Amino acid sequence: MPDRAQRQLRALRHLTDPHVLARHAGIVAPAPPRRPSLPLRKGRVWALPRPFHPRQVPVTSSPGLADALPDDTAPVAAGPSDPGSSGPGPRRRFLPAWCSDPRVWRTEVLAGLVVALALIPEAISFSVIAGVDPAVGLTTSFTMAVTLALVGGRRAMISAATGAVALVTAPLNREHGFGYLVAGVILAGAFQVVLGALGVAKLMRFVPRAVMTGFVNALAILIFLAQLPELRHVPWAVYALFGAGLALMVLLPRLSRIVPAPLVSIAVLTALTVGAGIAVPTVGDKGALPSSLPTPGLPDVPFTAETLRIVLPYAFAMALVGLMESLMTARLVDELTGTPSSKTRESVGQGVANVVSGLLGGMGGCAMIGQTMINVKVSGARTRVSTFLAGSFLMALCLALGPAVSEIPMAALVAIMVMVSLTTFDWRSITPRTLRRAPVGESAVMVLTVAVVVATHNLRDRRRVRHVPD
């Protein structure tokens, strides 16, 4: 009798063993680890094997495995009860598992909307820097975001019209016209595609950090200097609005970060100027906003060697600046999210997006550090959906709210760009503590990089001024 009871107990344990149940369900479970067949010693307890759970089973070719695993790429067995299936048979899940999670969609949609609202003022401001209509910057941001959401190598990264590219293209537009700027954007995109295909993105890790820091600091200085003309020979109310905009962007993040501070600043200053009837320069004074979707076309320039000679230096500089800033931003997002990205694919994608932007009459762009941080760090986005929706919402808002956007005072945009320059500058790189600890050579390289970039831009501006007729 005791033997029979022991046999029944062993049979019951066998039938309730999770490994046996998994095999009956069609899941190939790993065999439990064997414990060492050593005699038990007093005071020693052998560690029991970890309990098996179906979600811990690695992906294999078993036909019933995908029913127990939430894997995005695993095959799913479809039965007669599955909607849309005519009978038993294998089917593939072509969409990731998060597509069926409403929480992910809510996060991505809200992130895209917030980024789109934050993109409007900066896209208009960068248009002013490049010397083009606001519609060009907004159209460029829409094109870059949507295109890179499809072909980019870093998910959730935002690309649009940027100050770095605007600073490079502004002299070309002022000296030769908008058609040459568009041609330069297309050629810069072609350069980026070639550089990406050649694997130049892998060489970014060899660029000294001192050079990158100097480049970022020089970019911040140039953005600040580009705002000074908007503060000359203007009514006194412009200075008051400018100071109020800076105060809002400094104080509001200390209270709440739900709504971007630049967006609140624009809304408050626009309501103040319209409600009080204050006469100040507005966005509408700079040009018309987009009233329809962009249409493709070739730039209105002669296709000659002389045109290539004019456009080539600007296009190559635009390609290098755009790639450097985009790859720096991609590396930052990699560190924040703990996920890898394809730098080569991102380089090629940036080139494709700039070519498309040029064919649609855009000013070119690259990755935006500020908007990417809003999307990834503040809003919590992790997929390409947020990038795609950011561009789509941007164009929808411009088409639906064009008259309201035209009433935005330029003082609000200048305040935003000054804040961008202040936050872009790496202030820690010039603190006495950092300068004492850093090697003299690195500090010298950083200062030299800043001096060369700023001086080169200023010399180009002076040459342009000498050639402007009276």
Q: Is the dihedral of CA 218, 219, 221, 225 positive or negative?
A: positive
Instruction: Tell me how crowded residue 333 is: count the other CB atoms within 10 A of its CB.
Output: 23
C-beta atoms surrounding 274 within 10 Å: 14
Cα–Cα distance, 424 to 444 (Å, whole number): 20
Task: Look up the pTM and report it.
Answer: 0.65
Question: Which residue bears the tokens 């680890």?
Answer: 33
- Maximum Cα–Cα distance for the chain, whole Å? 116
Contact in structure between 164 and 298 (CB atoms under 8 Å) = no
Give residues with Cβ within 8 angstroms of 22, minimum separation 6: 28, 29, 52, 54, 57, 68
What one-character DSSP code corresponds to residue 409?
B
Question: Contact, 367 vs 330, CB < 8 A?
Answer: yes
Given a contact cutoff of 8 angstroms between Cβ atoms, the answer to whether 359 and 352 are in contact is no
CB burial readout 280-305, b (16+ within 10 A) else e: bbbbbebeebbeeebeeeebebeeee
d(CA 92, CA 74): 8
pLDDT of 317 reads 92
Q: Which two tokens stand for residue 126?
A: 């960068």
Encoded tokens for 361: 């009459």
Helices (H) and strands (E) in the chain — how many of each? 17, 4
Enter the DSSP assignment of 34: P
**Polymer length of the chain:** 470
Helix runs in 231-380, H state only: 236-255, 261-276, 305-337, 343-359, 369-373
367: left (phi over 0), alpha (psi -120 to 50) or beta: beta
What number of CA atoms fall less than 13 Å from residue 318's CA on the CB side?
38
Domain boundaries, the chain: 102-467
Q: Chunk the chain into consecutive blocks of 10 residues (it has 470) and report each block's average pLDDT, rounded to whole numbers.
A: 67 64 54 50 44 41 37 41 45 62 82 84 85 90 95 93 89 92 96 93 78 81 84 91 92 80 86 92 78 86 92 94 88 84 94 96 90 80 91 90 84 86 84 87 90 72 44
Helix (H, G, I), strand (E, B), or coil: what is residue 53? coil
**Amino acid at site 235:** P
**Structure confidence at residue 71 (pLDDT):** 38
